[in-house]
Amino acid sequence: MRQTLVAGNWKLNGSQESIKTLVSGILAGVGDTGNNQVAVCPPFIYIPQVAELVRGSKVALGSQDICDQDAGAFTGEVSGPMLREFGCRYAIVGHSERRALYAEDDEFTARKFAAARNNGLTPILCVGETLDEREQGITEDVVARQLDAVIALEGIAALGEAVIAYEPVWAIGTGKTASPQQAQDVHAFIRGKLAGLDQAVADKVQVLYGGSVKGSNAAELFAMQDIDGGLIGGASLNAEDFLAICKAGG
Ligand code: PEP
């Protein structure tokens, strides 16, 4: 039985003050989230602050990105060893905003996935199609290609120790959520593809849905057979909204 994971991606938002309020709100209600796993991914600079605040709680810490290199002349980057030092458990790789705005391709994303694993972090690998790709009927091809780059570099077993987030790009931050069935269809495709290579990996891997998840739609999404929780953007910036999602499913 896979556990439900709800991970908040705060993106480029927050201040020391607002983060203190947000985290204390989350900590006040996280006891009511049962067996569901909860994680937050602050901007890099706030990771030490959040690490202190969540210490000893069930809230795990993740990063929104990771350098593909561990150390050296890579100005502006943050590496796996640094993230580990500050208690990160997860690292998001291949978010659609990284792919679209910073030209991070499948191979580069796969190297970031490897960097996370090599440093004891669990990668949250984001995959998903644009609206144009969905309308062309190539959603599965796109998702397969994104997964294949990681499988080619790291092998199928590595996905059994990772989290996958299916995030249709057209649903991110737009208020348009995939219907539970639309999401389930792609999740089932992902799990089926992995099962063709290794059934145990397919059974084990948590596949999250991301794209305008809210307290009002989380339960029906998480109730689908192959949806194991969510990667949450906008709604993770408000403790009450985030907790409502954290309590769903499971
Ligand atoms: C995201 O950025 O991963 C995301 C799912 O954002 P939102 O929930 O705001 O659509």
Residue of 140, 167, 187, 220 marked active site: 167
Residue of 95, 97, 129, 187 marked active site: 95
Residue 95 bears catalytic tag: yes
Which tokens belong to 154? 């790291």
Among protein residues, the one with the nearest Cα to ligand 1's atom 1 is 233
Amino acid 226: pLDDT? 98
Please report, for the domain that includes residue 32, its CATH number: 3.20.20.70
Q: Please give the chain's pLDDT, 250 residues, in tens.
A: 899 999 999 999 999 999 999 999 999 999 999 999 999 999 999 999 999 999 999 999 999 999 999 999 999 999 999 999 999 999 999 999 999 999 999 999 999 999 999 999 999 999 999 999 999 999 999 999 999 999 999 999 999 999 999 999 999 988 888 899 999 999 999 999 999 999 999 999 999 999 999 999 999 999 999 999 999 999 999 999 999 999 997 6
Nearest to 14 by CA among 26, 2, 5: 26
Q: What whole-number distance in Å separates Cα of residue 250 and Cα of residue 241? A: 17
Domain residues for the domain of 115 are 5-246
Phi, psi of 61 (to 5 degrees): -110, 140
Nearest to 190 by CA among 238, 137, 136, 228: 228
Number of domains in the chain: 1
Q: pTM for the full model?
A: 0.97
42 lines ligand 1 (CB under 6 A): no
151 SS3 class? helix
Residues 201/60/67/146 CA torsion (nearest 10 deg): 30
- Alpha-carbon torsion (223, 167, 117, 19), positive or negative: negative
